[in-house]
A and B are shown apart, each in its own frame.
Chain A
């Protein structure tokens, strides 16, 4: 048991390192001067091989964890987000073999790594399943949704490449600002991961006692409290004194803690962003742009569309149909307008709209790229905000 779990986490770590190395090697492929054809081709092959090995080690992580816990490891936030990262890699591998486009790896793998790192912020213990989650349909549903999302993520990757490559960075415009905001948000997520890991490694803890719905509750802060719960009392003695209390209307369970985490992520993400920006002395988008000189925008646009075309049916199957079958088995109602279900429907509507817009002439290229970015945002919203804030039946954390 212990040894299985050890193997499992070692394999996950190995996968992470392999993705990192593969990203690094992919970065050698994008110069593509004609003289160096052979070398870039070799680098591309090496990088995709490493990616596949990385994927296989993550697969071993998955299987061994399954063996250790006795249920498919997709039942809490850590397990699900990790799995989502793995699906993104799988989708990348599939699309890579269709289009052989190295630059995709340069963006897809770091995003997969961000997913895995983000997952590791959540508790990693194997948790017991409550009765409603004990169903094969649940596994089938969750894995299919994750796979569909992974494929849809590739359209985001392609869209992002399209935008960074194509947007005129010589003058400031609404488009450069929007792109910069997208990149800034990625920094915020990294900021969240960094700051949580730092204080996590220190085992930082500060407890508050506060009132909610007439009950006295405790909140365990793992980041120094800038914002305290409304009417909260600090129990830990040597902890930092909070700067302020969250307003009254934020009084759900742990609302103060969540808001505090958001503040920290903003602070850290902004500092990271500012540092990188100072180093580059230009917009991050403008700094990456020269690397993408050789990108063929038409091909990237086609990949954007193609991944939606491939991902949409898979997402529908997993997110709506299998989900309904499971809900029918568990509660006798295949659809219940639970927030998580509604957001799956929103995602589905969104990509349906995308597909219909692609039917008309003006929506190819840049507009599609922006749509792909928005779609990614909606899926992440469902994963993060709905799980942690709007919380319904599926609430993992």
Chain B
């Protein structure tokens, strides 16, 4: 390595722009920071020798230099910014609304947003934030961050440590804040020093040369915050592994005990009771807003749950023994935690159909004599029901979650949210059958102006069915099948999470915040006093907040003959 010896005696590493000790510009390197074209010196990294500005031969040098350029960094940030914005033009796949035409992205985007939706889907923007190119972009920002920081931190640290109060004159008069005063007495100088000390400057002297400095630690702010960002990126990377991050969903009905998914059968949950509270329509505070919205607004929903831990089984196949570990109320913003897992209240369903009982009548029978009765367990429907008095009912179609659209009848989900049936009824000893359609209770309920997402239907279970249609498609039926009673279930939707990366994210965010505050709310300020004949040269530099530095200098030299510094930037 070539070293450069300055006239002040200090030996600088190759590529140094301003001598680390006295600041004298090193003639052959002035092009590096563009000082050769400007009157003012570029002070960004104290003119220290950075790898990126010194070497540019090997491929490694070139890669290093690419990533250590702030320009490249800014480009990466801007690209990430634009990409992120694009992803919000239409909803991401996970946010396709539940009442959409279809939750299949291939259908949803073109159907809902036309040609633009189609392009959006085909470019893969419906999963933009987990696309390989987006992740690479973020990773490149990470690489750039590391390289950039290493490239600058070490030389900057050394330069600031080695700086001396005694500076070369060209260093002083090429600062942005600069003034010359021909005659200054030593009392005046003492006053200035005194005042600088009062403003909490640290003063170092050497042969009458003075540097007053404060806030140097703020120079490390950017490096600290970049470390925070790196930790966050690493945490995000780790989160891809199931060991670090687990996310499951579970529905549990009232009264049901279920294993908590993702826990390898270790934990069980019992839904003792599901509670839904709504705002009273005559609530004095909110009545106007509720009336305007025209619907019931939930105020709280929660699962009163018991969590059990399974005891280690000694005999394989023996019944699992469950030990209660907590008894808690899980609601929005109040998750329950146990054994490293957290359960969040996410959703609920009040009116899941569990059982429907049907009765058979003769068409147009004024006495309504019941000819037969059967009950369908909706979680386990049979294909055929044989009744005592010889009737036989075949279930030809079952739509658990009935919906009718332009494309015909279908089932929105596999859950029995709104069952509808097409029955084939065989009267006793008959090979002839007749078809009837029964169901779509929710359609009838909504027709009555009841909102089944917040109103419980259970108490109406015995009457509500009579509003549901029973259709005779041929108009030639001799019998009618009517809903007699309905049992409903209430189920609670909970998500199960275990996130071991959280502490890392927290530490990263904390370090980031410390770093930005350190770099933004404090500034590194230096004032040099350089004796010359009977007078002095005065210069000042700060990395930001020149206004503040100017005020400091004004205060320090008040009522002394020392000339106020001029801002040479304006000349």
Question: In the complex, what's the smallest C-beta–C-beta distance from B285 to chain A, in angstroms?
Answer: 5
By a CB distance below 8 angstroms, the chain A residues around B71 are 360
A222 to chain B, nearest CB (A): 13
* Residue contact A346 to B84, C-beta cutoff 8 Å: yes
Which residues on the A side are within 8 Å of B81 (C-beta)? 346, 349-350, 353
Neighbouring B residues of A242 by C-beta, 8 Å: none
Among residues of B, the one whose C-beta sits closest to the C-beta of A328 is: B502
* The stretch of A82-90, A107-115, A186-194, A310-318 that contacts the partner chain: A310-318
Q: Does B289 contact A (CB under 8 A)?
A: yes
Q: How far is the CA of A328 from the CA of B569 in the complex (A)?
A: 49
Partner of B88, one of A1, A126, A331, A386: A386
Chain B 323-339 near chain A by CB (<8 Å), digits 1 or 0? 00000000111010000
Please, which residues of chain B bring their CB within 8 A of the CB of A70? 285
**A38 contacts B by Cβ under 8 Å:** no
Most B CB contacts (10 A, CB to CB) among A70, A310, A353, A390 go to: A353
Given known contacts A130-B298, A353-B81, A356-B77, is B547 in contact with A302 (CB within 8 Å)? yes
Say yes or no for A339: interface residue by CB 8 A criterion: yes
Closest CB in chain B relative to A179 CB, distance in Å: 23
Chain A residues whose CB sits within 8 angstroms of the CB of B332 once the complex forms: 131-132, 134, 330
Given contacts A312-B520, A313-B521, contact A345 B84 (CB under 8 A): yes
In the complex, the answer to whether B520 meets A337 with C-beta atoms within 8 Å is no
**B490 part of interface (Cβ distance < 8 Å):** no
Q: Mark A111-146, 1 if CB is under 8 A from B, else 0.
A: 000000000000101111111101101000000000
Q: Which among B70, B95, B279 is the interface contact of A359 at CB below 8 angstroms? A: B70
B509 at the interface (CB under 8 A from A): yes
Choose among B283, B346, B520, B547 the residue that contacts A299 (Cβ–Cβ < 8 A): B547
Say yes or no: A213 contacts B100, CB within 8 Å. yes
Contact pick for B344, options A127, A320, A332, A352, CB 8 Å: A332
* Neighbouring A residues of B546 by C-beta, 8 Å: 302
A32 close to B (CB within 8 Å): no
The one of B88, B289, B505, B517 in contact with A343, judged by C-beta atoms closer than 8 angstroms, is B88
Q: Decide if B114 is an interface residue (CB 8 Å cutoff).
A: yes
Interface pair B544/A130, CB less than 8 Å apart? no
Decide: A131 near B299, CB < 8 A? Known: A298-B569, A331-B346: yes
Residues on the A chain within 8 Å of B165, using CB: none
Indicate whether A310 sits within 8 Å of B346 (C-beta atoms), given known contacts A321-B509, A350-B81: no
Residues of B with C-beta under 8 A to A126:
285-286, 288-289
Are A128 and B77 in contact, with the CB atoms below 8 A?
A: no
A168 part of interface (Cβ distance < 8 Å): no
B257 within 8 A of A: no
Cα separation A357 to B70 with both chains bound (whole Å): 8
Residues 322 to 368 of chain A near chain B (Cβ within 8 Å) = 324, 328-334, 336-339, 342-343, 345-346, 349-350, 352-353, 356-357, 359-361
What is the minimal beta-carbon distance from A62 to any residue of chain B, in angstroms? 16
Does A248 sit within 8 A of B, measured CB to CB? Answer: yes
Is there contact, CB below 8 Å, between A342 and B289?
no
Interface centre among A1, A128, A334, A350, by most chain B C-beta atoms within 10 angstroms, is A128
Query: Please, which residues of chain B bring their CB within 8 A of the CB of A357?
Result: 74
Contacts of A324 in B (CB 8 A): 505, 509
Q: Is the CB of A361 within 8 A of B34?
A: yes
A interface majority secondary structure: helix
Q: Does residue B85 face the partner (Cβ distance < 8 Å to A)?
A: yes
Give 1 or 0 for each of A273-317: 1 = CB within 8 Å of chain B CB.
000000000000000000000000011001001100110110011
> Nearest Cβ in chain B — how far from A35, in angstroms?
24
Residues of chain A within 8 A of B517, CB atoms compared? 313
Residues on B with beta carbons closer than 8 Å to the beta carbon of A98:
547
- A352 pairs with B77, CB closer than 8 A: yes
Within 8 Å of chain A (Cβ to Cβ): is B129?
A: yes
Asked if residues B544 and A128 are in contact (CB atoms below 8 Å), the reply is no
Query: Size class of B's contact patch?
Result: 35 or more
The CA of A345 and the CA of B138, in the complex, are separated in Å by: 13
Q: Is the CB of A331 within 8 A of B344?
A: yes
Bound together, the chains give a CA A345 to CA B331 distance in angstroms of 29
B84 touches A342 (CB 8 A): yes
Contacts of B89 in A (CB 8 A): 390
Known contacts A332-B344, A353-B81: A131-B333 contact under CB 8 Å:
yes
Q: Looking at the complex, which one of A128, A331, A334 makes contact with B290 (CB distance below 8 Å)?
A: A128
Q: How far is the CB of B173 from chain A (nearest CB, A)?
A: 19
- Residues of chain B within 8 A (CB-CB) of A127 are 286, 289
| Chain B 481-509 interface mask (CB, 8 Å, partner A; 1/0) | 00000000000000101000010010001
B96 to chain A, nearest CB (A): 12
Least CB distance, A351 to chain B, in whole angstroms: 10
Does A200 count as interface, using CB distance less than 8 angstroms? no
A244 in contact (CB, < 8 A): no
Interface assignment of B78: CB less than 8 Å from any CB of chain A: yes
CB neighbors of B among A186-220 (8 A): 213-215
Residue of B nearest to A136 (CB): B333
Q: Which residues of A sit under 8 angstroms from B95, Cβ to Cβ? A: 338, 392
- How far does the alpha carbon of A338 sit from the alpha carbon of B92 in the complex, in Å? 8
Nearest-Cβ distance from residue B115 to partner chain A, whole angstroms: 8
- The answer to whether A99 has its CB under 8 Å from any CB of chain B is yes
Kindly list chain A residues whose C-beta atoms are within 8 Å of the C-beta of B42.
361
Instruction: Point out which of A135, A339, A349 has the most chain B C-beta atoms below 10 A from its C-beta.
Output: A349
B405 sits at the interface (CB 8 A): yes
A386 contact set on B, CB distance < 8 A: 88
Q: State whether the Cβ of B28 lies closer than 8 Å to any Cβ in chain A.
A: no
A123's nearest neighbour on chain B, judged by CB, is B292
CB distance from A386 to the nearest CB of B (A): 7
Within 8 A of A (CB), among B70-98: 70-71, 73-74, 77-78, 80-81, 84-85, 87-89, 91-92, 94-95
Contacts of B304 in A (CB 8 A): none
Q: Within 8 Å of chain B (Cβ to Cβ): is A383?
A: no
Flag whether A387 is at the interface (Cβ < 8 A): no
Residues of chain A within 8 A (CB-CB) of B544 are 305-306, 309
Interface assignment of A263: CB less than 8 Å from any CB of chain B: no
- Is A310 touching B114 in the complex (CB atoms < 8 A)? no
Asked if residues A321 and B70 are in contact (CB atoms below 8 Å), the reply is: no
A125-B288, A312-B520, A333-B497 provided; 20 other pairs, C-beta below 8 A? A125-B292, A126-B286, A127-B286, A127-B289, A128-B285, A134-B333, A213-B101, A214-B101, A215-B99, A249-B113, A299-B547, A302-B546, A306-B547, A316-B512, A329-B335, A330-B344, A339-B88, A343-B85, A353-B81, A356-B74
Pairs A–B under 8 Å by Cβ, sample size 9: A131-B298, A213-B100, A302-B545, A306-B544, A313-B517, A321-B509, A321-B513, A330-B344, A342-B85
Closest CB pairs A-B (n = 3):
A131-B332, A349-B81, A332-B344
Chain B positions near chain A (C-beta within 8 angstroms) = 34, 42, 44, 70-71, 73-74, 77-78, 80-81, 84-85, 87-89, 91-92, 94-95, 99-101, 113-114, 116, 129, 247, 279, 283-286, 288-290, 292, 297-301, 331-333, 335, 342, 344, 346, 405-406, 495, 497, 502, 505, 509, 512-513, 516-517, 520-521, 544-547, 567, 569-570
